[in-house]
A = this chain, B = another copy of it.
Amino acid sequence: MSTKVPIVENVLKLNDEMAIQNQRLFQQTGVFVVDLIGAPGAGKTALLELTLRQLKGVLDIGVIVGDPATCRDGDRLAKHSEHIVQVNTGSGCHLDANQIRHAMNKLKLADLDLLIIENVGNLICPVSFNLGQNCKVGMFSVSEGDDKAAKHPNLVVSADALILNKIDLLPYIPFDLECFRQDVAHLNRTAPLLEISVARNQAKAWLDWLTENAKRPEHLTKSN
C-alpha cells in the first residue's frame, strides 16, 4: 500500500486542472455554483426540493445530483425544474471535475443564475475534489449525532457555510447543540451555521444566505 499517497496526489492534480477549466466556463456564463456535501440521509435532496420551490421566480436554478445508484433524487428534483442532471457514480464515492464537465454540457448554463451540485452522500472524499465551484456547503443533521463536525474537520474547515438540518428532531434525540456549535466555531470562525428543518419547511437562513451570495458572489473568498 506504499504507492497510495502519490497515486492520490496524481488523481487530485488531474482533477484540479479540469476543475479550473470548469470554473472558467462557469464564470463565462455567469452562473454561481455551490458544491453541497453531506452524509447519506442528511436531507440534501429534500433541501433542494424546498429550494427549487421557494426560489421559483427569484433565481433560475439547475442541479447536478450524484448518487452511487438509482435516479430517485434526479426524478424528485425534475418535478421542480427542467435543469436537472443525475450522475451515477457506481462504486465511486464522490463527484469529480470530469463528471461535472460531462454533466454541465447537458445543461443550458446561460439560462441559469445558480447551479447546485448535490455531491454523493459522504462527508470525506468529496471534500478533496475541487469541481470548479464558487463555494462549498457542508450539511449535517441532528440525527447523525453532535460529534460529526469534530470528526470531519476537513469539511468544516473548507466550507463557506454549514447547515444543521432536522432541528425538529432535537426533542427526540440526544444532541448537545451547544457542543456542536462550539466544534464548528472552533474549526471555522467565518462560515455561518444555518440551523434549519426541511421537514418543517423552516429553511429561511439557508434561502437568505443562498440568494445573497448568488447575487453577490464577490463576497465569498474561500473556495477555489
A: which residues have CB within 8 A of B? 1, 3-4, 7, 10-11, 14-15, 18, 39-41, 67-70, 72, 91-93, 96-98, 120-125, 127-128, 141, 143-145, 147-148, 150-154, 166, 169, 172-174, 199
Contact = CB atoms under 8 A, between A and B. Distances in A.
A13 to B, nearest CB: 11
Contacts of A152: 40, 68-69
Given A1-B14, A7-B10, A70-B147, 16 more contacts: A1-B11, A1-B97, A3-B10, A3-B14, A39-B39, A39-B121, A67-B151, A68-B124, A69-B153, A72-B150, A91-B154, A93-B122, A121-B123, A122-B124, A172-B172, A174-B199
| Chain B CB within 10 A, most for which of A11, A18, A127, A144 | A144
A152 B70 CA distance: 9
| Chain B CB within 10 A, most for which of A4, A72, A120 | A4
Contacts of A148: 40-41
Nearest to A155: B68
Contacts of A172: 169, 172
Given A1-B11, A1-B18, A91-B128, A68 B166 contact: no
A125 B93 contact: yes
Nearest to A168: B172
Contact of A145 (B11, B41, B122): B41
A4 B13 CA distance: 12
| Chain B CB within 10 A, most for which of A40, A72, A92, A127 | A40
Contacts of A69: 150-153
Nearest to A67: B151
Contacts of A120: 124
A91 B154 CA distance: 8
Contact of A141 (B41, B93, B124, B125): B41
Contacts of A68: 123-124, 151-154
